[in-house]
Structure 1
Amino acid sequence: MKPIAAGDLNEQVTIQTATVTRGTANAEVVTWADVATVWAKVVERGGREPILADRPVMLVSYEVTIRAGVTVTHSDRLTWGDKTLAIDTVTPYRTQGTIVLRCMEVEI
């Protein structure tokens, strides 16, 4: 992997983490809280349109590169503009000082 140039991280993404609480009737309630807003390089990696619940759904995958120094796991998610991205994998590149996140856009 080649080093990240100064101008490559030109998008801002917000890392969010989930908190699960119990609501009425003891049902789980998931709320998302912002952890950090960081500069990132966001690259669309393609899409597909599977049939889910008898209707086509567009799934778009992204590769998001951020600088190391922030804690992020596959349980977290990203917001980028009006898009919400579920994190599938987290790959740190220690020699480059970066983290690569493979994500899938989710409909909220």
Structure 2
Amino acid sequence: MALQLSAGQLDRQVVIEAATASKDGTFGAQVLTWATLATVWAQVLESSAEPGSNPGQTAAVAAYVRPTKVRMRWRGDVTTRHRVRHGARLLQITGVAELGRREFLELSCQEWAHEQ
């Protein structure tokens, strides 16, 4: 059975970003920047934040991971090397699943949040 998403459920505009490497003009060091791959309408399904394990985390700083699913119309160029920008939030893509027969994509994402 195919997943049925109506246009009204794709109610959040998100930006898919791809990392690009360039060289620093002063010292020639490699610098990672993010460029827009696509701006699409999507359904964003958030879960509750969970305590995360962050290497080197001190007691004064707590890290939380918020799992999020992003559903959008199918595209063949989105991978786990990309990230999603949803407003001020940055979501790292951890998995990409095809829903239906190239009808939709479901992106499994994680947002890391730090509190001091």
**TM-score (normalised: structure 1):** 0.87
> Structure 1 residue 16 and structure 2 residue 28: aligned?
no
Which sections of structure 2, spanning at least 5 residues, go unmatched?
Answer: none
Residue 3 of structure 1 and its aligned partner are, at CA, apart by 1.0
Letter in 1 for 2:94: D
The percentage of counterpart residues that share the same residue type is 31
In the superposition, relative to structure 1, how do residues 61 and 16 fare at CA in structure 2: closer, same or farther (>3 Å)?
Answer: same
State the match for 1:4 in structure 2: 5
Instruction: Find the residue that maps to 1:46 and give its secondary structure.
Output: coil
State the match for 1:43 in structure 2: 45
Answer yes or no: is the 8 Å Cα contact 1:3–1:96 preserved in 2: no
Which sections of structure 1, spanning at least 5 residues, go unmatched?
Answer: none
* Mapping for residues 59-78 of structure 1, pairs under 5 Å: 59-69=65-75, 71-78=77-84
Whole-Å separation in 2 of the counterparts to 1:51 and 1:106: 10
Whole-Å separation in 2 of the counterparts to 1:25 and 1:99: 41
Choose 76-85 or 93-102, whichever is displaced more.
93-102
Whole-Å separation in 1 of the counterparts to 2:93 and 2:112: 10
Larger Rg: 2
Whole-Å separation in 2 of the counterparts to 1:5 and 1:19: 34
Letter in 2 for 1:29: V
**TM-score (normalised: structure 2):** 0.81
Letter in 2 for 1:80: H
Instruction: Find the residue that maps to 1:102 and give its secondary structure.
Output: strand
Whole-Å separation in 2 of the counterparts to 1:94 and 1:87: 20
Instruction: Find the residue that maps to 1:60 and give its secondary structure.
Output: strand
Deviations 1:15-48 (A, max 9, x none): 0000012335443210000111100000012321
State the match for 1:80 in structure 2: 86
Letter in 1 for 2:44: V
CA-based RMSD: 1.8
